[in-house]
Chains A and B, each alone.
Chain A
Amino acid sequence: EDKVVQSPLSLVVHEGDTVTLNCSYEVTNFRSLLWYKQEKKAPTFLFMLTSSGIEKKSGRLSSILDKKELFSILNITATQTGDSAVYLCAVVNTNDYKLSFGAGTTVTVRA
């Protein structure tokens, strides 16, 4: 059974801090790893990672994948209150493209 574990479950930071979120996985048919941001409603897509060691960046967010050690990290620098959300990690199965999600990390950014 595919397993995706995110840590920490939640954290509280102050504006301007840097946040690092972790996602480890055990899957039998790995295709890619996805990060989503969920603010109250629908998860919205952030990044897709398929290759080890190649950093994806979007503004203050960045992410990297390690396929040898089976984990990914999501970094948020210079956090703002608008970064407060649940961040979800999901692994895509190469056979059927189904997603296996982690439980998510709740990030609260205080002004």
Chain B
Amino acid sequence: NAGVTQTPKFQVLKTGQSMTLQCAQDMNHNSMYWYRQDPGMGLRLIYYSASEGTTDKGEVPNGYNVSRLNKREFSLRLESAAPSQTSVYFCAGAWTGANEQFFGPGTRLTVL
């Protein structure tokens, strides 16, 4: 099993460009999450999907959109990237009723 996978690993964008971060899991997770990690601020929740077909905003949703394409895949889209979105992005999954989440390897995004 690959677990939780993310693509790409690294990305550099110019201000105003758009891109989609991909996340897939083969662990049969019902819930999936997108976080960003910035120095000194821990992990902050951007969006989450409690089940296929549902999505909800987290703590820092502005500037992002998400799609839960199917049970396995959960993508994060930046429509018009800004330097403030420079960060490391993590996707995570969890089984229904479980406390712990399993994280992907992360995408390091730089917006110039």
Contacts and interface: CB of A to CB of B under 8 A. Distances in A.
A29 B40 CA distance: 25
SS class, residues of chain B in contact with chain A: loop
Contacts of B98: 97
Contacts, number: 49
Given A32-B99, A41-B105, A98 B43 contact: no
A101 B90 contact: no
A31 interface: yes
Contacts of B97: 97
B105 A48 contact: no
Which 10 interchain pairs have the tightest Cβ spacing? A101-B42, A42-B103, A101-B43, A103-B42, A32-B99, A92-B99, A45-B100, A41-B105, A43-B103, A42-B105
